[in-house]
Amino acid sequence: MPADAPADAIAEIRRRAAAGDPGSVAYAAVLAALGAGEDQSWSVALERLGRAAELGSKVAQGQLRVLSGEPEGGEGRWAGLAAAVDLGPWLSATELVPLAPGAPVAEAPGFLSPAVCGWIIERVCGGLARAQVYDATDGSTIERPERSNSAFVYWMAQLDLVILLVRAKIAAALGAAVGTLEPCQILHYAPGQEFRPHYDFIDTETPGHAAELKRGGQRVATFLVYLNEGFEGGMTSFPLLGFGYKGEAGAGLTFSNVDAAGEPDPRTLHAGQPPTSGEKWLLSQWIRDRAGQTPYAT
């Protein structure tokens, strides 16, 4: 499906789902979760996911195992697993713990379960590409030596209920509307790969960023989730704040990119330090100050 999800593509998904195609039924669950052409409903989305699993969709079955917390079994009772998924922890606020007094950085220990983290990594393997940055001259995205890691971007065709619930959980933690979230990214760092010190806010003093700032508004917050362990180095450092962070698998880290007046906060200079051994996986979610940031925003 194209990133802008034209109506005819959605109609084709619905037609195939009605005919019992397992993959299309699984994706119809995504449409219900998004409210794409219908009323948004998590319960309908889960019901469809259960039906897709019963029809044999391995992707739907994997999601239900992760979301239900039952990694084994499920055959013959997928609908029951779908009905038993507890949406409360996904849709309610998560406690954020400041890392230092007065610093705009906080952590959320145990934000995602190891099973969810593993599912995300498994789903994006093979889809990585060199990560890019904004070109200061014209606002396009380009490869630059200061960022050598890889990334995977969730456009509409790649979505599933797990990642949509992760986005909903991040929005709830920050008190933000889901529509202000940019497309979610998964970041991968092999040994030696890094993202040198940089800011996430849209620089109001850089001419090439003016069009992006006008289009989408300021990038007011960042939310990261460490997806794995077993690597050395790889800390997220804040050189001007004098500390860094390396979380356990599932730990969340968030920081405000602007101050109380909504102006870019230079204290948020940060870097993705390179692993010295092993590989690092992160989920990265940027939040803007206005809605409508993705083709699938609701």
- The DSSP secondary-structure symbol of 180 reads G
> What digits encode the pLDDT tens for the residues 64-122?
999 999 887 677 899 999 999 999 999 999 999 999 999 999 999 999 999 999 999 99
Average pLDDT over residues 273-295: 93
- Answer with the one of 85, 120, 145 that is the final residue of a domain: 85
Which pLDDT belongs to residue 139? 67
> What digits encode the pLDDT tens for the residues 232-267?
999 999 999 999 999 999 999 999 999 999 999 999
Q: How confident is the model at residue 199 (pLDDT cuts 50, 70, 90)?
A: very high
Average pLDDT over residues 270-295: 93
Burial of residue 155 (CB within 10 Å: 0-12, 13-18, 19+) is middle
2 falls within a domain = no
Q: Which two tokens mark 90? A: 């996904």
If DSSP codes are grouped into helix, strand and coil, which group holds residue 196? strand
Which pLDDT belongs to residue 3? 42
Is the domain of 57 the same as that of 171?
Answer: no
Global pTM reads: 0.94
Which pLDDT belongs to residue 296? 65
Average pLDDT over residues 163-173: 98
Are 133 and 209 contacting, i.e. CB atoms less than 8 angstroms apart? no
CATH code (residue 250): 2.60.120.620
What is the sign, positive or negative, of the torsion defined by CA atoms of 148, 154, 160, 165?
positive
Which pLDDT belongs to residue 231? 97
> What digits encode the pLDDT tens for the residues 209-235?
888 888 899 999 999 999 999 999 999
Which pLDDT belongs to residue 295? 63
Instruction: Determine which helix (DSSP H) or strand (DSSP E) holds 233, and give its type and residue range.
Output: strand 232-233
Is the domain of 105 the same as that of 151?
Answer: yes
53 falls within a domain = yes
Which pLDDT belongs to residue 28? 97
Q: How confident is the model at residue 37 (pLDDT cuts 50, 70, 90)?
A: confident
Is the domain of 117 the same as that of 251?
Answer: yes
Q: How confident is the model at residue 8 (pLDDT cuts 50, 70, 90)?
A: confident
Share of the chain above pLDDT 70, in %: 96
Which pLDDT belongs to residue 272? 98
Share of the chain above pLDDT 90, in %: 80
Of 40, 48, 57, give the one whose Cα is nearest residue 91. Answer: 40
Are 277 and 230 contacting, i.e. CB atoms less than 8 angstroms apart? no
Q: How confident is the model at residue 5 (pLDDT cuts 50, 70, 90)?
A: low
pLDDT at 2 over 50: no
The number of folded domains in the chain is: 2
Please give the Cα distance from 177 to 16 (Å, whole number): 32
pLDDT at 173 over 60: yes
Domain ranges, residue 245:
97-288
Is the domain of 141 the same as that of 275?
Answer: yes
Average pLDDT over residues 169-184: 97
Is the domain of 259 the same as that of 186?
Answer: yes
